């Protein structure tokens, strides 16, 4: 069934429900001197490259590969179109390793035909904070699919992660592999229903007209909560405290410090946006919400080429009810001309999805850990981790 994944230190389907297996690392680390020192072999027409994401041309090559070959929906109507600025942000967090940004080129033409990337992260699983790699942007050019290139790329990134003395990883995928720690649902909140219907992202509901639909999803022009404002650099300590306290309740969550918060949550134009509520009386930061910008190319539509989507990231409510906080997030996203606001059913998101008129999508997202066994699958609501 899974000729490659069966060889890897991941939860195997045959072990599901076997309560005799302990939680934690599946394999012990080996001495670094025993880690394979040379790259895995590629078919001879191809060569490994390390992608320097500081370099604009390299960044553009990766961007072009992904724009034309990365994840599509089941009906091939939309394809993720991560921006260059987004890739620069996603791949260069504090302490990142350039050697984990791995490309495959055609030897003769130097054309980039495959990519995989990792970034370091501290992820807490129950009471243990584990140094991990977050693996993302695995992509093989459409013309090179089903040639077993993906397993070589995964082994190569694993080797380079091991060389940094890191032995665990976290990743998400739309496909089922051995074995998800949880399976999440995407929910979508229409901000520009007319465009979403025109491009086939959503359909007019039963007994609905376009004008009734537009009215249904209408949002006020300005936010409702007093003290609601954009996050600034000076807010990093307060936001870090708020977030650390909040994420402590989940089974799996990032262990963010101030450097992480500055990188991952400080607003960056058209990449990531964060807002908070500062109490007008005490000037205390009591609530926080954030989303990232991930547009999709619209494939084969005459009128539109880009779907502007915001994705819910980390949200914390202590004073402002979560429902009201997220409604304000929708209002700012609408103001910034996003067409749709997406959220997974992770953390406490279920508490606002239906009420704020999100509808369930058909896409599922499976979460995985590499070389770390969890005794039982967790519920989406026990997950405090959002990967890009
Ligand atoms: C996938 N998404 O099952 P078996 S998500 C992992 N993640 O192996 P081939 C995947 N494995 O089942 P193709 C996978 N998709 O025989 C497929 N596989 O054991 C497995 N799509 O390889 C698959 N990006 O090369 C099978 O397949 C084997 O040519 C087949 O290439 C696959 O970034 C792919 O969806 C996905 O570009 C590259 O279809 C290609 O089809 C493609 O014959 C469109 O591969 C884009 C797309 C995936 C987005 C993502 C997370 C990746 C996680 C990788 C695993 C990381 C493990 C941890 C490593 C560090 C460890 C440490 C320490
Ligand atoms: Mg292949």
Along the 388 residues of the chain, how does pLDDT read in single tens digits? 999 999 999 999 999 999 899 999 999 999 999 999 999 999 999 999 999 999 999 999 999 999 999 999 999 999 999 999 999 999 999 999 999 999 999 999 999 999 999 999 999 999 999 999 999 999 999 999 999 999 999 999 999 999 999 999 999 999 999 999 999 999 999 999 999 999 999 999 999 999 999 999 999 999 999 999 999 999 999 999 999 999 999 999 999 999 999 999 999 999 999 999 999 999 999 999 999 999 999 999 999 999 999 999 999 999 999 999 999 999 999 999 999 999 999 999 999 999 999 999 998 999 999 999 999 889 999 999 999 9
Percent of the chain whose predicted confidence (pLDDT) is above 90: 99
At residue 97's C-alpha, the angle toward residues 95 and 99, to 5°, is: 175
Task: Write the ipTM.
Answer: 1.00
Atom of ligand 1 nearest to the CA of 72: 44
Does 151 sit in the ligand 1 pocket, CB within 6 Å? yes
Ligand 1: distance of its center to the CA of 73 in Å? 16
Whether 388 is catalytic: yes
Give the closest residue to 72 by CA, choosing from 225, 265, 296, 244.
296
- Please give the tally of structural domains in the chain: 2
Q: Which ligand is nearest to the CA of 161?
A: 1
74 shares its domain with 210:
no
Ligand 1 within 6 A of 370 CB?
yes
For position 331, what pLDDT does the model report? Answer: 99
Domain containing 363 — which CATH number? 3.40.630.170
Q: Ligand 1 within 6 A of 368 CB?
A: no
- In-domain check, residue 75: yes
pLDDT of residue 219: 98
Question: Tell me, what's the pLDDT at 363?
Answer: 87
In the block, which residue shows the tokens 């680390």?
29
Separation CA 262–CA 296 (nearest Å): 26
Please tell me the residue having the least CA distance from ligand 1 atom 45: 150
Answer whether residue 177 is part of any domain. no
What region does 137 belong to: left with phi over 0, alpha with psi -120 to 50, or beta?
A: left
State which residues have CB under 5 angstroms from ligand 2, the bound ion: 140, 147, 149
Q: End of a domain among 116, 151, 172?
A: 172
Between CA 24 and CA 28, with CA 26 as vertex, the angle to 5 degrees is 100
Residue nearest to atom 10 of ligand 1 (CA): 150
Residue 210 lies in a domain: yes
Q: How far is the CA of 285 from the centre of ligand 1 (A)?
A: 41
CB atoms within 10 A of CB 55: 10
367, 385 in Cβ contact below 8 A?
A: yes
Kindly state whether residues 210 and 239 are assigned to the same domain: yes
Give the pair of three-digit tokens for residue 58. Answer: 């390299």
pLDDT value at position 50?
A: 98
Rounded to an integer, what distance in angstroms lies between the CA atom of residue 12 and that of residue 178?
5
Q: Which residues neighbour 344 within 8 Å (Cβ) at sequence distance 6 or greater?
A: 184, 185, 186, 187, 312, 365, 380, 386
Each residue's pLDDT tens digit, 157-167: 999 999 999 99
Ligand 1 proximity of 145 Cβ (cutoff 6 Å): yes
192 and 157 in a single domain? The answer is no
CA atoms of 152 and 330, how far apart (whole Å): 42
CB-based burial, 109-147: b 16+ in 10 Å, e otherwise = eeebbbbbbbbbbebbbeeeebebbbbbbbbbbeebeee
Q: Are residues 151 and 230 in the same domain?
A: no
Statement to judge: residues 248 and 365 lie in one domain: yes
> Residue 134 Cα, ligand 2 centroid: separation in angstroms?
22
Residues 72 and 167 in one domain: yes
Say which ligand is closest to the CA of 139.
Answer: 1
> Residue 142: nearest ligand to its CA?
1
Q: For residue 20, what are the domain limits?
A: 5-172
Indicate if 311 and 371 belong to the same structural domain: yes
CATH of the domain at 70: 3.40.630.30
Q: Domain for residue 178, yes or no?
A: no
Rounded to the nearest angstrom, the distance between the alpha carbon of 175 and the centre of ligand 1 is 9
Residue where one domain finishes, among candidates 172, 194, 223? 172
Find the catalytic residue in 66, 112, 265, 388. 388
Spatial distance between the Cα atoms of 168 and 23, rounded to a whole number of angstroms = 13
Same domain, 70 and 162: yes
């Amino acid at each position: 069934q899974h000729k490659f994944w069966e060889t890897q230190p991941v939860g195997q389907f045959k072990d599901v429900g076997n309560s005799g297996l302990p939680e934690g690392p599946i394999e012990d680390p080996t001495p670094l001197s025993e880690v394979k020192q040379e790259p895995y072999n590629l078919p001879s027409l191809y060569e490994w490259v390390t992608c320097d994401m500081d370099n604009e041309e390299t960044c553009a090559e990766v961007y072009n590969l992904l724009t034309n070959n990365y994840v599509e929906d089941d009906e091939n109507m939309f394809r993720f179109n991560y921006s260059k600025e987004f890739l620069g942000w996603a791949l260069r967090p504090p302490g990142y390793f350039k050697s984990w940004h791995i490309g495959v080129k055609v030897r003769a033409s130097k054309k980039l035909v495959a990519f995989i990337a990792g970034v370091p992260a501290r992820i807490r699983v129950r009471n243990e904070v584990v140094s991990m790699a977050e693996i993302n942007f695995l992509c093989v050019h459409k013309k090179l699919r089903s040639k077993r290139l993906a397993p070589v790329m995964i082994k190569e990134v694993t080797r380079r992660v091991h060389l940094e003395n890191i032995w665990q990883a976290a990743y998400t995928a739309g496909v089922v592999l051995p074995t998800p720690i949880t399976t999440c649902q995407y929910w979508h909140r229409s901000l520009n229903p007319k465009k979403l219907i025109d491009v086939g992202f959503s359909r007019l509901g039963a007994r609905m007209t376009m004008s009734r639909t537009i009215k249904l999803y209408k949002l006020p022009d300005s936010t409702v909560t007093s003290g609601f404002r954009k996050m600034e650099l000076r807010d990093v300590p307060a936001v870090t405290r708020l977030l650390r306290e909040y994420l402590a309740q989940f089974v799996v969550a990032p262990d963010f410090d101030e450097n992480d918060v500055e990188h991952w949550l400080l607003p960056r134009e058209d990449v990531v946006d964060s807002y908070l509520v500062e109490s007008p009386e005490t000037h205390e930061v009591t609530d926080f919400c954030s989303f990232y910008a991930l547009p999709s190319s619209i494939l084969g539509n005459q009128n539109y080429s880009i779907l502007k989507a915001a994705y819910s990231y980390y949200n914390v409510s202590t004073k402002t009810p979560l429902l009201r906080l997220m409604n304000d997030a929708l209002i700012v996203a609408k103001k910034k001309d996003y067409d749709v606001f997406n959220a997974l059913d992770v953390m406490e998101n279920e508490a606002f999805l239906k009420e704020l008129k999100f509808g369930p999508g058909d896409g599922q997202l499976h979460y995985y850990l590499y070389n770390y066994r969890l005794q039982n699958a967790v519920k989406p609501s026990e997950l405090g981790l959002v990967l890009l």
